[in-house]
Amino acid sequence: MTAPGTARDIPPLRVAVVAALPQTAPPLVEAVRALGHEVPVVIGSRRPADWPGHVLGEQDLPPGVDLAVPSRPEAVAALLRAYAPDAAVSYGYPRKLPADAVSAPRLGTVNCHPSALPSYRGPNPVGWAVRNGEREIGVTWHRMDADLDTGAVLARTTIPLDDAMWSFTGVNARVLEAASAMLPQVLRRLVRGDAGEPQPQRDGSWAGFFGADYAAVDWSAPAVRIHTQVRAWNIAGHHPRIEGPVAVIDGTHWRLRRTALEQPPAGTGRRIACGTGDLWVLAADALG
């Protein structure tokens, strides 16, 4: 007998993974395969010209898993149909999938979004959660539809958003752990044709990229507000157009990477007097 909470009470599936980063695709592939399903292909994405890191490469994937990199979103549907997956799971894909791509797998496509939908829809949910002082974030698996982050929910949970979280990579690891634990339930509901729970009929909130109004550090602001700003930008990760948070220290512009509200060990960091309280700059990059 199969234990509750596993996915081995459903037949083995062919599951395509739609994910573009080396931090996201391999763990998701591993989670699907650990449940006894086959991952024939990962749909990746071309590296944007301004992207500072590397995108997913074939060397990041285990043997037997192909990497397909479409030239444009309109090509995703044909790629999925070529591999004939039963289902597709998406995580952090940088482009909106067209409707024909979402419906290409036999059982449909599901997406994991790091928020308690319908709150914080969009590309920067965790950054906005930090900016707004949230102490936890949601992790939601939902069916994908023609709009962005609006489909019916198949599984959800919450995880702490504690002060120790300072990077996209760190948050991503915790989100994927929670998401992987819910995969058996998600795949089971897909196989059974379960439509899922429609998102609440209240307006959701949008979590877009931070704008220029949040990019510059104002040292006359309270130290805790600046500290939150630095943490929010670093968790949000790469912005396609705007760099932040940028501060002027001794006439030089710096992108702040890490700050502290309490005095660090002697010889560590630079103390800055703010509008209310002191802030210690622990790591920063000089900008040309």
Please report the pLDDT score of residue 47 as a whole number: 77
pTM: 0.93
Contact yes or no for 122/206 (Cβ under 8 A): yes
Handedness of CA 178, 183, 184, 190 (dihedral sign): positive
Using alpha carbons, select from 188, 123, 126, 129 the residue that is nearest to residue 155.
188
Cα 180 to Cα 5, 37, 240: the distances in Å are 11, 13, 29
**Of 52-66, 189-203, 272-286, where does the model show the most confidence?**
272-286
- Strand runs (DSSP E) across 199-245, as ranges? none
At residue 103, the pLDDT reads 97
- Give pLDDT tens digits for 49-106: 666 667 899 999 999 999 999 999 999 999 999 999 999 999 999 889 999 999 999 9
Domains identified in the chain and CATH numbers? 15-191 (3.40.50.170), 212-286 (3.10.25.10)
Average pLDDT of the segment spanning 113-122: 97
Q: Quote the tokens at residue 192.
A: 């059974």
pLDDT at 143 over 70: yes
pLDDT average, residue stretch 140-144? 98
